[in-house]
Amino acid sequence: MAWQIDNSHTSIDFSVRHMMVSRARGRFDDFSGTIDLNVANPEQTSVFVEIDAASINTRDAKRDEHLRSADFLNAEAYPKLVFQSTRVERVGDSAAKLHGDLTIRDVTKPVVVDVTFLGKSVSPWGATVYGFEGETRISRKQWGLEWNVALETGGVLVSDEIAITISLEVVQAAETESAAVAA
């Protein structure tokens, strides 16, 4: 059954080491997708997410502009980042590995997202909702995101590894429309 991502209760966040001493954090503000959630057989679940590259937000306008540029996401030429699952591997009662293909700048590479099921509930408007959290780490260089600056003290300005965290709430697609009408 198709489920919609509840954008107001979902976040796609990332962090990267900055100057080898701290973490710069950000998120994407605009995204959409569907989850074909198979409650009876989670291994048959599929996930599709499309992220607006220009919606990157690190709370620093100059850095965000640089991240949208050809040095990084090249959001004008490649406006979407896309994740399409390829399979789900259960690793416990409330945990799974979500295997899929991540496309950034028209480069597609496999990734594995460690997913935790947080629970199921019914909203005050009668909509059934499920919650999940996911985490993965990627090498930005695999997608051609290689811009960097060497530091005098050693190391680089921006680390290669990016930590990605997703907090996801999904609502049954048919109920999404009726809940919106009721609200």
- Mean pLDDT, range 102-108, rounded to an integer: 97
Average pLDDT across the chain, whole number: 92
**Among candidate residues 150, 29, 12, 71, the one with its CA nearest the CA of residue 63:** 71
Residue 175: per-residue pLDDT: 47
Cβ atoms of 107 and 142 closer than 8 Å: yes
Helices and strands per DSSP (H, E), number in the chain = 2, 11
Domain that holds residue 13: 2-178
- 156-171 mean pLDDT: 95
Rounded CA gap, 15 and 182, in Å? 38
Judge whether 142 lies within some domain. yes
- CA proximity to 129, closest of 27, 3, 35, 1: 3
Q: Read off the pLDDT band of 173 (50, 70, 90).
A: low
Domain count, the chain: 1
Is 51 a member of any domain? yes
In the prediction, which pLDDT does 177 show?
Answer: 47
**Residue 131 included in any domain:** yes
Over residues 7-39, the pLDDT tens digits come to 999 999 999 999 888 999 999 999 999 899 998
Q: Is 183 within the bounds of a domain?
A: no
**Domain harbouring 19, CATH code:** 2.40.128.110
pTM over 0.85: yes
Distance CA 27, CA 139 (A): 17
Q: Quick one: CA dihedral 53, 23, 66, 152, positive or negative?
A: negative
pLDDT above 90: percentage of residues in the chain: 81
Length of the chain: 183
- First-to-last alpha carbon distance for the chain, in angstroms, is 23
Residue 86 inside a domain? The answer is yes
Read off the pLDDT band of 71 (50, 70, 90): very high
Q: Which candidate, 158, 145, 140, places its Cα nearest to that of 20?
A: 158
